[in-house]
A and B are shown apart, each in its own frame.
Chain A
Amino acid sequence: MSVLTSGEFWAFVGVVAGIYTLFTLGLQVQFGLAGLLNFGQVGFMAIGAYTMAILVAKEGWSMWVATPVAIAAAALAGVLVGLPTLRLRGDYFAIVTIAFSEIVRWVATNENGLTGGAQGTINLAGQGTAAQYNGQWERFQRWVGAQLHVGDKDVVMLILVWTAALLLVWLTARLARTPWGRVLRAIREDEDATASLGKHVLAYRLQALALGAALAGLAGCVYAWQFSFFSPDDYQPLITFFGWMILILGGVGRVWAVPVGALVFGFLFAATRFFDFAPFSYLDSADRAYVRLMLIGLVIILLVVFRPQGLLGRRDEMVLE
């Protein structure tokens, strides 16, 4: 029987899509609302995950305290990256953010004492002891499972991730409709015109960057719990671009398009790996892993050509000058 018919597999795909929803929601706030080209979102995700894991595994903090601190650390990193660079033109800012995320990854790779180095979080407590940061999370997961009478751990995770994701999407969508969201959209359109109407452009951009970074930080924590172990290699720049693919797939500027894009992406990405019919069967599974990237690339090219506003975007907004 193919893996495509296994419930466990689809629950896994759903959890990953939920994590990508949180991750890309941050990009939607930054780019969709405020027009910030952040190509280093994965760096904020790494900061969230590492802060949580280090505080729990090394410092013995409660997960319930460490997680908010980790999210705040990601937001603070957003402010620190943004303060000197947000005055730069859009494309320069984009380059700085990608450099930032690579710096985070390389620091995590080389600071063995702080992060466990290239071997990842297993090494957090030093050589010889297998460090672990998600005992409390697994107890919480079991407790939720018992309350809901759901036995399957993956299904519980699916419920938890999507509850958080949909709640935050809803809150973000509400925030986008406030006067605060209106200022962000205005900055996306024309920052000088917005400044000439009395708005402090830099302050709003910092807020958008920090909020988006906080969402990436949360995505990092959830990712860490789901996989119970991670290493710097999990935070390759490619992850950021997966987020961008989701954003373009769903629709830039449409908050509710994020979960839709993440689900479509998640299914495309995970399922294509297990396509065992022709022509995919001509290739071994390692090669198929690359074919799926080509397929997703093709879908995005077709989308940009025939439906540039994304699955849920508004066409009329695309044609205005």
Chain B
Amino acid sequence: MSALLEVRGVSKAFAGIRAVDDASLVVEVGSITALIGPNGAGKSTLFNCISGFVRADAGRIELSGQRIDRRPPHRIVRAGLGRTFQTARALTRMTVLDNVRLAAPAHPGERLWGVVARRAASRRRELEVTEQAHELLRLVRLDGHANALSGTLSGGQRKLLDLARILMAAPRLILLDEPVAGVAPALREELLAHVLGLRADRGLSFLIVEHDLGFVMQASDRVVVMNEGRVLVEGTPDEVRNDERVIDAYLGTAG
């Protein structure tokens, strides 16, 4: 196996507090890697560093050998790394279909010049994108809501919309930020099936921050445990489950 995402020695401090402290991890091609740890361990900050929303103070982040740690978020997505947010970020006053179509890459109609001078090409692309968006909405079973404003969707449906939307951007690696937090059990199973299915059918890789350890154990083949900004342990779910240091970190030896 080869590395798809390689994070080496990343640090990030906010007002002197080291949120992420010399963290390194690897996501192999085709793997589902979970990133766990107690609250305040630095998982979200590391996620933000990887996806470009926060600039790391030090370290190196590579996607398929290409350095991405100095790039703005939109260029990281175009390089093939997509992310979702902890709370689903539906664009509420746009339709469900438009939410998904928005994410299409390489759309000439999204450029002013293309709108004016490449009308045939942008219309063709728009048809293609619309068809693909309908397919993705069928996949997450939101096709019945395609023309509704996404603000009318429930919290769980918005999580599914987020997933369909990031798939439209055609990433190779998807970072999911707490995909099943506050989600009903049935939807939790559905999301688990989607993650496993997308890897099997499309060869996608995942890096998942999640507090639901049951979900982590079922979904992932590698687990990275963070504590106080550092990577504490890395291993298979079974190895991690039985590691003394992990149990200490979660239960809090310091009291």
A residues with a Cβ closer than 8 A to B are 175, 178-180, 182-183, 185-186, 189-190, 192-201, 207, 316-317, 320-321
C-alpha gap A237/B236 in the complex (Å)? 64
Contacting pair B109 A198 (CB below 8 A): no
Contacting pair B92 A189 (CB below 8 A): yes
C-alpha gap A186/B152 in the complex (Å)? 16
Answer yes or no: B233 CB below 8 A from chain A CBs. Answer: no
Tell me which of B95-103, B182-190, B207-215 binds A.
B95-103
C-alpha gap A55/B229 in the complex (Å)? 61
Answer yes or no: B94 CB below 8 A from chain A CBs. Answer: yes
* Known contacts A179-B107, A198-B105; A193 and B152 CB within 8 A of each other: no
Contacting pair B74 A186 (CB below 8 A): no
What 10 pairs between A and B have smallest CB-CB spacing? A320-B151, A179-B109, A193-B89, A198-B77, A189-B91, A197-B103, A320-B92, A195-B73, A179-B110, A317-B93
Q: Would you mind naming 22 contact pairs between A and B with Cβ atoms under 8 Å apart?
A: A178-B109, A179-B107, A180-B114, A180-B115, A186-B94, A186-B102, A190-B89, A192-B73, A195-B53, A195-B72, A196-B53, A197-B74, A197-B82, A197-B169, A198-B77, A201-B74, A207-B112, A316-B149, A317-B93, A317-B149, A321-B92, A321-B151
B residues with a Cβ closer than 8 A to A are 51, 53, 72-74, 77-78, 82-85, 89, 91-94, 98, 101-105, 107, 109-112, 114-115, 122, 126, 129, 149, 151-152, 165-166, 168-169
C-alpha gap A185/B51 in the complex (Å)? 23
Q: Chain A residues near B104 (CB, 8 Å)? A: 179
Q: Chain B residues near A194 (CB, 8 Å)? A: 91, 102
C-alpha gap A198/B166 in the complex (Å)? 10
| CB closest residue in chain B, given A199 | B74
C-alpha gap A194/B73 in the complex (Å)? 10
Contact of A182 among B98, B112, B166 (CB under 8 A): B98
C-alpha gap A180/B168 in the complex (Å)? 17
Contacting pair A195 B94 (CB below 8 A): no
Q: Chain A residues near B169 (CB, 8 Å)? A: 197-198
C-alpha gap A201/B72 in the complex (Å)? 10
Q: Chain B residues near A179 (CB, 8 Å)? A: 101, 104, 107, 109-110, 115, 122, 126, 129
Contacting pair B91 A196 (CB below 8 A): no
Q: Chain B residues near A183 (CB, 8 Å)? A: 102, 110
Contacting pair B94 A185 (CB below 8 A): yes
Contacting pair A192 B89 (CB below 8 A): yes
B120 to chain A, nearest CB (A): 14
- 11 further A-B pairs in the complex, CB-CB below 8 A; given A180-B111, A199-B74: A175-B115, A179-B110, A180-B110, A185-B93, A192-B53, A195-B53, A196-B89, A197-B165, A197-B168, A317-B93, A320-B93
